[in-house]
Chain A
Amino acid sequence: MNEDIILEIKHITKQFPGVKALDDVSLQVRRGSVHALVGENGAGKSTLIKVLTGIYVRYEGEIWLNGERVSFENPSQAKAKGISVVHQELKLSEPLSVTENIFLGNLLKTKAGLVDWKSMNRRARELIDSLGVEIDVHARVASLTVAKKQIVEICKSIMHNCKILIMDEPSATLTNKELDILFGIIRKLKSDGTTIIYISHRLEEVFNLADEISVLRDGMHVATVPTSEIDKNGLVRMMVGREVNAEYPRSGVAPGDVVFAANHIVRKDVLKDISFEVRSGEILGIAGLVGAGRTELVRAILGIDQMDSGEVLLYGKPVRHKEFTSAIRNGFGLVPEDRKLQGVTLGFSIKANVCMTNLKKIVRHGVICRDLENRYAKEYAKKLRIIAPSIDTEAEFLSGGNQQKVVIAKWLYRDSSILIMDEPTRGIDVGAKREIYELICDLARQGKTIVMISSELPELLGICDRVIVIHEGRLVGELTHDEATQDKVMGLCV
């Protein structure tokens, strides 16, 4: 066994009903290195992390840690062996203080068996100071910025004697300045001997930080290369498996008349005087950082949240959406942010999901008509190329891409003419993403109006006719397809 290798993964395969999330993945991580793990959404990065940290217990293959075979029954066993994760969604207890969070599950005790606040606060302060950041250890975590919360999470891992720190897209919600601080911390940890597995979509960071890069694609390990031996284009090719410029289809539709306009929409502390309009056949993108107010904007327009002032014009006439159902009646449909929770009902069949948006359509004389339900479900499943054994298959057994198609099918079945999609490709694998893009373009060609929120800038720039940028509840920019570049939009976002 090579002393240099801290972690070795041998032939890991993890299957879910209908999907092979990991397919014979083998890779090695060097001690004290920053090892980047890249791949498109759905490539298997998260699954691999879950296998490594004892969240998934059943899989094929072996994990070797420090030359010793390990198999974790649960996350705490992984933690005890020194593997910690900083998740994208931070797992801190918001009402507790920084110190409490850092020592959570591991409280220090005085001789009398009571909680030793004094030493805990001291040690927490020392740790935070050593990272060169300023955080009050007595502050409640809820009062911290996302970046500082992340640092607290890192401190927690260090306190738990972590040897391998896995960071799952830590940069997704950070500003550039915060990012610099994070990078400083990562370099510091590395020099202290911690091994870091860094997962990110932003390739600049990967080149900036990593010693080695492993690429996953469609559940398979494509290659592990030293950072010095590859350039960005080469890396993207490995991730995507084909040339990149072919990635985004365009609808090619010349937008028609204005379908709806939002005028001076205000919601206290969240939305500050936002106005925009959308035309038929147009695909409008809404860009901005997580928390900028993108989802809140569409919720206000759809009547899910009430706006304090402002109005929505539909074909030039003001409409008031007192609740979501009135927006639906006016032809709006929403593909919500959280596909598994809000989009589909996991325990229900494809047909029950599809027909849920409009039962009246399958009711005859007050009675639900099975034949009609089957007919419509089949029609839309076929139109959207939903892949499943049958329309009676429950949504939980579908892949992410097919689940999302079911959600879109719900609104096509409802004859919605304005589709608002909130992160429609989140967590969907590469091939299916492409299908969703084509589907969106197809809908635009059929004259539907599409509003799309996405945190993946390339896809917004790729398929949208126009992009508006929201920052801290304000509309800060509007760019046509030709004007919009990643730099320009990012410049407006921060």
Chain B
Amino acid sequence: MAVLEGEHGGKGSFGAAISRASKEYMILIALFILMAIFSVTSEYFLTADNMITILLQSSTIAVVAIGQAFVCLGGNLDLSLGQSVCLSSYIAAILMIKLEVNPWLALAVCVCTACIIGVINGILVAYLNISSFIATLGMMNVCTGCAKLLSNSATIANLPEQIAFLGRGYIAQIIPVSVAIMLALYIIASFVAKKTMLGRYIYAIGGSKEAAFYSGIKVKKYTLISFVLAGLTVGLGSIVLLSRLDAATISSGKSYEFDAVIGCVLGGISMAGGKGKVIQALFGVLFLTVFLNGMTQLNVNPFIQDVIKGGVLITAVAIDGVRNRVKN
């Protein structure tokens, strides 16, 4: 301990940095271990085809998980994300197929819809002080209901060819466009979280709402914005999903909110808010997808997979809770 004189502290902070890094990237280590195990148990697992499949399966969830990450960093939770994907997808599909609107305009409306849902969530949580869990749970049902009303639960397929490349195209015949979009969004989101005032504000609010307020941060405004960011990622994720499935279905986005939360928490983003990196959500989602993919390869009953998924979420949240408690 010394009065800070300009240079950084010695061993102490170096050791702390190591332990922090190991905590942050624990999920990556776990991911590699998991992949090693599956490579041994299934010969098909470690093929290029399967790797691409895993990335494709992850891509839309991973995009939505970015939004969940921002909401979590701000100390909240968004359970409406999955059903918001469903509703936004239907709106775009209906515009394109039934009303024959220009596909690009339809996609823009799709993003706007998701953002508006985010705004409503934000108002409910930030300005009306409803707990985010309850507010977004309600919104989830509203979205499901609207999607069913609009579609009668029928699938709307055969979307215009112009948008096909978003979900099914390849760059240089190797890298799927959707995966590239996902990676690009992670780079942008990481930049926003780390390097911009908006990101800092969201971290500060998640770290301590009170302290943020007493530092002059507009807590309500930026809490609202975190939900709008989630809406934005939902919109973008919906576009990719629409294009990949070439359809809007009633199961589009099903359990995305759940998978996105698992991704965030597994990745190490604290549910208490203020701690973690956006990129960790990607690692978390990849871990989950690899896990499920490997299980499928091993012919594990899909119903059991659901049980395991729920168990993984509870375990991850418990670890997060213990980590927070150890501090005291």
Give chain B's interface residue range (CB within 8 Å of chain A): 35 or more
Chain B 6-25 interface residues, beta-carbon cutoff 8 Å to A: 6, 8-10, 12-13, 16-17
Choose the segment among A158-166, A280-288, A385-393 that binds chain B (4+ C-beta atoms closer than 8 Å).
A385-393
Q: Is the CB of B214 within 8 A of A359?
A: no
A353: chain B residues within 8 A (beta carbon)? 211
- Does A396 sit at the interface, judged by CB under 8 A? yes
A328: chain B residues within 8 A (beta carbon)? 216
Q: Is the CB of B196 within 8 A of A348?
A: no
- A20 CB → nearest B CB, Å: 12
- Docked Cα-Cα span, A360 to B201, in Å, equals 12
The digit string for B16-59, where 1 denotes a CB below 8 A from any CB of A, is 11000000000000000000000000000000000000000000
Q: Known contacts A324-B216, A389-B12; is A342 also within 8 Å of B4 by CB?
A: no
B211: chain A residues within 8 A (beta carbon)? 341-345, 353, 356
Q: Known contacts A336-B214, A356-B215; is A378 also within 8 Å of B4 by CB?
A: yes
The digit string for A386-412, where 1 denotes a CB below 8 A from any CB of B, is 111111110010000000000000100
Give chain A's interface residue range (CB within 8 Å of chain B): 35 or more
- Docked Cα-Cα span, A385 to B5, in Å, equals 9
Q: Is the CB of A347 within 8 A of B1?
A: no
B2: chain A residues within 8 A (beta carbon)? 387, 389
Choose the segment among B167-175, B202-210, B234-242 that binds chain A (4+ C-beta atoms closer than 8 Å).
B202-210
- Does B212 sit at the interface, judged by CB under 8 A? yes
- A221 CB → nearest B CB, Å: 24
- Looking at the complex, which one of B4, B200, B203 makes contact with A382 (CB distance below 8 Å)? B4
- Docked Cα-Cα span, A341 to B192, in Å, equals 27
- Looking at the complex, which one of A334, A366, A368, A392 makes contact with B214 (CB distance below 8 Å)? A334
B17: chain A residues within 8 A (beta carbon)? 392
A378: chain B residues within 8 A (beta carbon)? 4, 6
A345: chain B residues within 8 A (beta carbon)? 204, 207-208, 211-212, 274
| Smallest CB gap from A392: residue in B | B13
B13: chain A residues within 8 A (beta carbon)? 389-390, 392-393
- Docked Cα-Cα span, A360 to B197, in Å, equals 8
| Smallest CB gap from A382: residue in B | B4
- Does A121 sit at the interface, judged by CB under 8 A? no
Q: Is the CB of B204 within 8 A of A356?
A: yes
| Smallest CB gap from B5: residue in A | A382
- A–B pairs, 12, beta carbons within 8 Å: A342-B210, A342-B213, A344-B211, A348-B208, A352-B200, A356-B200, A356-B212, A359-B201, A363-B197, A368-B200, A378-B4, A393-B9
With A343-B214, A390-B12, A392-B17 already in contact, 13 other A-B pairs whose C-beta atoms are closer than 8 Å: A324-B214, A345-B211, A348-B203, A352-B204, A356-B204, A356-B215, A359-B200, A366-B196, A366-B197, A386-B3, A388-B1, A389-B2, A392-B16
